[in-house]
Amino acid sequence: MTASLTPAVPQTRQAFRITGTIGGLSAADQRLLFDRAQTLDDHIRARTSEIIRRVRQDGDRALRELAYSLDGVALDQLEVPCTAWRDAAAIVAPEVRSALERAARNIRCAHEAWLPSATEVEVEPGVIVGRRPDPLVRAGIYAPGGRALYPSSVLMGAIPARVAGVGEVILCSPPGPSGIPAPIMLAAAEIAGVDRVFSVGGAGAIAAMAYGTQTIPRVDRIAGPGNAYVAAAKLQVASDTGIDAPAGPSELLVIADHSAAAETIAREVLAQAEHDPDAAVVVIATSQEIASAVARAVRSLTPFEKRADIIAASLAARGALLVAPDVATAIRFSNDWAPEHLLLAVGDPDAVLRDVVSAGTVCLGTTTSVVFGDYITGANHILPTGGAARRYSGLSTLDFVRWTTYQRVSEAAALSLAGDVAILATAERLPAHAAAARRPVSP
């Protein structure tokens, strides 16, 4: 760092909220670290519920009123003409378009490899059962466009849906001052192969995709990140349409041993902490020496970051720098914490990977920066947070199919099955079931 640079914020002695050993965490520190599922206050829940009610009742009119009151934009129409997003793709800076296209190719390549396949098995002679993945009819992708723009989220949401064979993929993103999403968002929509784009943001967009309006069609599943109102809306409509994993602020857990350079770890910490003051970043070092070096690097680098205030707020609120006696102990902690992103900054990350059982995505070694996965490796960055990685996976083609099961029983097998089925049906006091099992078999 050159002496001519001026720090954005003053240096502080303690960057991380929690420091110490894994075994020495107080009950309060453990609660702070583990109780991080996004909690929505009553105001957000109530306001979101009211927005959903208005959209269900008044459709497009409600969306226009919300755009005017929340975004300060008077919308002539909700749908963005396809010529606008094609023009945006043509005028976006060539290097940006090239990077988006590279990311799109990698996302498509990875998700094509992950396409699910139909399976069929003969469980006993003459008894066939099968399972077939069928693409959803329509999927809705949400991409934020408020304080920050996320064209990468357009690619991450739309391309897996397209690869899965979804019949129609629509995109909702907040309007800019011109009444349509930013050009880079529209360019991403064109590159991703989206079918329709709408200038609608926030909880209103989620409600519109969940229930349909005069202009926006109802979808079978909604995917994509968003603010607290978007998260609340997705949870409130989840009984009526599919959603991806519940999501909150960004998370990173780094496990670092003696092979990791402290500045490299610090750079990863800053990258994820700059997302949001509520982001959660934890570093587990296998010695106090490593932990101290990481702490010094973070303190040294933070003041020169453009988003230094956000980074400092994040680390001061939910940052932790811990020491574990060995990598195995750190992995056990990680499996309990279930991070969105796990960086294995250890000498042999592949040997450790087999023990990881709950993480949204795992980056193997310090050359595999988490930000590569955020943008361009092809792995999806729409991931579970708040400990939800214990039960949810990152977005993939699996989110855009439903499974049809089928079964076929031959005449000989029907005769063989009938007796036991009748016994079980009689035990459950369902005589009509027993009679159906015993009926004469008609080929």
Q: SS3 of 13, please?
A: coil
Beta carbons of 136 and 402 less than 8 angstroms apart: yes
Whether the CA torsion 335, 311, 32, 292 is positive or negative: it is: positive
**Which residue is catalytic, options 190, 274, 305, 340?**
340
Question: What's the CA gap between 112 and 78, in Å, rounded?
Answer: 32
Neighbours of 319 (CB within 10 A): 25
Neighbours of 430 (CB within 10 A): 13
379-418 as b/e: b if 16+ CB within 10 A: bbbbbbbbbbbeebbbbbbbbbbeeeeeeeeeeebbeeeb
* 298 CB-side CA count, 13 A: 32
**Which DSSP state fits 241?**
S
- Work out the end-to-end distance of the chain between its first and last CA atoms, rounded to an integer number of angstroms: 82
Beta carbons of 116 and 397 less than 8 angstroms apart: yes
- What's at 70, amino acid-wise? L
Give every CB contact of residue 137 below 8 A, 6+ residues apart in sequence.
166, 167, 168, 220
Q: What share of the chain is helix, strand, coil (3-state, %, to 5)?
A: 45, 15, 35
Helix (H) or strand (E) holding 387: none
Question: Any catalytic annotation for residue 340?
Answer: yes
Length of the chain, please?
Answer: 443
Nearest alpha carbon to residue 51 among 223, 201, 217, 239: 201
- What's at 165, amino acid-wise? G
Q: SS3 of 386, please?
A: coil
Q: SS3 of 91, please?
A: helix
Q: SS3 of 273, please?
A: helix
Neighbours of 279 (CB within 10 A): 25
**Which residue is catalytic, options 274, 275, 305, 341?**
341
Nearest alpha carbon to residue 282 among 272, 296, 297, 292: 272
Residues tagged active-site: 340-341
